[in-house]
Structure 1
Amino acid sequence: MTERERQRAGLWYDANFDPELLALREEADELCHLINQTSPRDAARREGLLERLLPHRGEDVTILAPFYADYGANCVIGDHTFINHNAYLMDGATITIGSWCFIGPSCGMYTASHPLLAAERNRGLEKADPITIGDNVWIGGDVTILPGVTIGDGAVIGAGSVVTKDVPAGVVAAGNPCRVLREITERDGIGELG
């Protein structure tokens, strides 16, 4: 079994010294660099680079630079999602972001875990668990999402939160560690616009 196959199977794999994984990350790093250096006015070039980095991106997705991903190909981003400046998607496992999501600035989604024993960690081992974010989720600025977390449809995650466990649909959650504060109800509407 190759290290990439081990990675995809959710097993411990050599993330630091395997030539295939190093080459894939180097390619993604180069694409991120080019995206982040492209003028916002050069939409065609930027779109072409994003297509190469993020082949599983829906329609009308906005991603503001700088943006970083370890592989890119392990990210699935739904239609009409907005990702603000300085997002980092550590996609050793799949990161799925639903449609109509708002991702605040400096959001980090980290699928990788490392061994606690230094000797094992120094061998370059890691394990990656997927992150899943439902539709219509709003994630505030400076939020950290840890490996294996699922955030349900319509949830709102407060700025600065560290999400260590699953968050159900339709709630406001915040804190370090992130915890559910309350359900979102019709009373949260802004009322008549006028």
Structure 2
Amino acid sequence: MSTPRIAVIIGTTRPTRFGDKPAAWIKDKIEADGRMSVDILDLAEYDLPFFDEMASNKWMPSKDPKALKWQEDLAKYDGYVFIVAEYNHSISGALKNALDQAFVEWGKKPAAVVGYGGTGAARAVEHLRGIAVELRMVNVASAVHIGGGEFMKVHPLGGNADAKVSDIDDVLAPSAKALIDELYWWADLLKGARAADQAKAA
């Protein structure tokens, strides 16, 4: 069976966002592990409209070309790593909208999370896990939380605009390894299960 494909999804779109840094870091980690291929999907590049379809594509096809492109790209992957900032104790509006713009494509695939912020986006991650269940994803329990003093070491708010997440790798590496190991287990398992389902339906 082919190597599982993973999409790292940057969950914010603001010009001043921090999310591209942890996205690049976890992408490098997955590539170094070697068991999965990985790409970054940047919500800022999709310019998704607010969800205004007649219904979810669980029930009928979407019509907006931008939503269709998003769905087509998501369908290529066997699992996802969401880069999550905490906006007022939850995920960003941009990420919630992107999640709502698909249904079929998320199903029976693992969802892992790298969260960042004062509390490592813990509350936003918990909200995302509930959404993932509704979208028929499998939550990867192991997560990376970049928070507290370690967050300030690599964020511009701490006066470290040029810092990289790799600068605190010694602290994050164990969590990253646990995330990648569990993500691979689920991605490989579910990739085979989906293929078996498709074969039965053919």
Fold match, TM over 0.5?
Answer: no
Q: TM-score, normalised by structure 1?
A: 0.29
